A and B are shown apart, each in its own frame.
Chain A
Amino acid sequence: METPSQMADLLQLAGITLDATASSREEAVSICGSLLVDLGAVSQEYADAMWEREQVFPSELGDGFAIPHGTDESRQHVMFDQLVFVRFTEPVSWVNEDISVCVGIASQGDGHVEILGNLADLLMEEESAHTLRTSSDPEVIRDLILKGA
């Protein structure tokens, strides 16, 4: 069981970008990877694996959200579990849909399961999904994802 403080560490304000621009899927995934690298959560090898994986198996969820992450093998390049939230000012053309938000994931084990479950709950509810799409306040987005639906 995660304590609240450990869970709060999984998504930092510095890991939330609300005005990203990307002209391609590759660039969008690369922005997520670079952010995870900047936070010290992963090495560049992991960021590269995120794009490798994305090409084989797109991470789009539906409703304009995607969750780029690495492969099982690339977990060794994760220093600590971390999520990043990257919203694009213009939707990015993915495989089956246009993506406006990427939640990039780095995880060594199951430390992020609760918070990712929260995200799934939020996306199933119209109002909270709308907040994630439109709120201009990183703290609102962070609190919503940490708290869940």
Chain B
Amino acid sequence: MASVSASDVKQIVVACEAGMGSSVMVARQLAKQLKSQEITVVHSPVNQLAETPHQIVLVHRGLSARAKQAVPDSVVIIFDMFLGDLNIAKLVGALQNGDTISDG
């Protein structure tokens, strides 16, 4: 199980199938919430994850297997809702508290 310390997180990538719809919206919401943390949030199609620098991958449940396959050593956080997801809120809290973040 991959994990990363909050202080080492510089870039989070939100992945979706095409990288043009839902990942864009999730990335925007997350970037707003992490404004004061100096963490960059980008979005990407899931098949370009390996070429996109990141410490954490955020992906919808339906694509989580593909994401884990693409970047097996990365921390992969799974969400179910594009707007107002609890797992994403938990991630924001962990980053703000300086916790260690694991797959989930």
Binding site for B on A (CB under 8 A): 53, 56-57, 59, 61-63, 67, 69-72, 75, 105, 107, 112-113, 116-117, 119-121, 123-124
Contact = CB atoms under 8 A, between A and B. Distances in A.
B22 A59 contact: yes
B2 interface: no
Interface string B37-80: 00000010101000000000000101100000000000000000
Give chain A's interface secondary structure class: mixed
A68 to B, nearest CB: 8
A77 B25 CA distance: 23
Given A72-B45, A119-B25, A120-B25, A61 B18 contact: no
Interface of B: 16-22, 24-29, 32, 43, 45, 47, 60, 62-63, 81-84
B31 to A, nearest CB: 8
Nearest to B46: A72
